[in-house]
Structure 1
Amino acid sequence: MGGGAFPTMIAIITMFFIGGAAGSFSTVLSAGILSGIILLGILMTLAISKILSVTILKGIPSSFTLELPPYRRPQIGKVIVRSIFDRTLFVLGRAAAVAAPAGLIIWLMANISVGDMTILSRCSGFLDPFARVIGLDGVILLAFILGFPANEIVVPIMIMAYLSEGSIREINDLSILRDLLTANGWTWVTAVSTLLFSLMHWPCSTTCLTIRKETGSMKWTLLSWLVPTVTGVIVCFLFTTAARAFL
């Protein structure tokens, strides 16, 4: 789960599970729920790691030796410069290289109509039957797919699709956003399924590019995308099935 998913998760927790709580209690309750979700993510990571270690990664354990470099007094200026050029600008450059074309694709899908519906609406309608099985809807699943460049745009894409608008927008008032979501069929089951999918779905484009560079293998990059995706679908399906059985 990337850091960009946290704003989405916090907003959903606040809208659907904090309710009328106010003041410091609201903050503590929100932090508690989010901490529980993060703990679930850690446990799922350990479980998946164990499964992989006895299946596709099964083999003779290899030793790992780490040699510490000679200690030198840190040079603040050099650290700052290298951090900016080696990390910040590198990540921003990769994000821009993917985000710009993705933004154009989203805009075209929202503004080009086929028949009496935009491409965005037709795609969400196509995904809707499968998305319902895992507790989401076509708009939510499509927003996650189009949000592959950056998790931060998932909710704005949902808003654009629900309002049938031609550009991405944000709603800062959570009460208005909650009314919009519930008017489009969101329930607590939808909210929990969205939280679970946010926690476990595929890594963002920048993470995938980094994995590709570090491993030098498309196979491991695809595997790193596939494993959390399949895990998220299975967990959401199990939760949704159980929740509907007791409703």
Structure 2
Amino acid sequence: LIIWLMANISVGDATLLAHCSGFLDPFARVIGMDGVILLAFILGFPANEIVVPIIIMAYLAEGSLLDISDLSVLRDLLVSHGWTWITAVSTMLFSLMHWPCSTTCLTIKKETQSVKWTIASFLVPTVTGIVVCFLFTTAARMLV
């Protein structure tokens, strides 16, 4: 619902999705991604498996999924939005190392009975993911 609303409510000349991804874009570029990808990770907090569908919906700016029966359609979509091998690897690295989903965070809170450990379990992989993506992106850009 949130994704659909953000993709379909316009403020000024752009959707809320475009405004939010534009705001995140400068930081996301530093770690090898773009604002849409970073926003997809944030909106995917309830369930990490929805990150790629959110990216596809945001790039299409339609608020609905595209039937991708051929991987070349997905490739064309990503490349047309500026994806390079650096973007792909950074997205994969961040996917491996970012915060746990909301259910995992709730389970950690329930099992440890500690807000401190819940916050730590959120921040440690997130900071690690940001640092690894930054280091990778910086090194890759120096080599290209």
Alignment TM-score, normalising by the size of structure 1: 0.57
Question: 1:170, 1:147 → 2: CA distance?
Answer: 20
The partner residue of 1:143 within 24, 32, 40 is 40
Question: 2:106, 2:68 → 1: CA distance?
Answer: 31
Q: What is the letter of the counterpart of residue 152 of structure 1?
A: E
Pairing 1:134–2:31 present? yes
Instruction: Give the ranges of 4+ consecutive aligned residues of structure 1 lying more than 4 Å apart after TM superposition.
Output: none
Aligned alpha-carbon RMSD (Å): 1.1
Q: Which has the larger radius of gyration?
A: 1
CA contact (8 A) 2:25 2:35 kept: yes
Aligned to 1:231: 128
Aligned to 1:40: none
State the Cα distance separating 1:219 from its structure 2 match.
1.3
Aligned to 1:125: 22
Identity %: 81
> Which 5+ residue runs of structure 1 have no aligned equivalent?
1-103
CA contact (8 A) 1:211 1:221 kept: yes
Question: 1:130, 1:111 → 2: CA distance?
Answer: 25
Alignment TM-score, normalising by the size of structure 2: 0.96
Pairing 1:179–2:76 present? yes
Q: What is the letter of the counterpart of residue 122 of structure 1?
A: H
C-alpha spacing 1:170/1:143, structure 2 compared with 1 (3 Å): farther
State the Cα distance separating 1:171 from its structure 2 match.
2.6
Report how many aligned residue pairs link the two structures.
144
The partner residue of 2:113 within 216, 220, 231 is 216
Aligned to 1:152: 49
Pairing 1:241–2:138 present? yes
C-alpha spacing 1:214/1:192, structure 2 compared with 1 (3 Å): same
Question: 1:105, 1:221 → 2: CA distance?
Answer: 25
Question: 2:9, 2:85 → 1: CA distance?
Answer: 33
Q: What is the letter of the counterpart of residue 97 of structure 2?
A: M
Aligned to 1:105: 2
CA contact (8 A) 2:3 2:63 kept: no
State the Cα distance separating 1:173 from its structure 2 match.
2.2
CA contact (8 A) 2:7 2:15 kept: yes
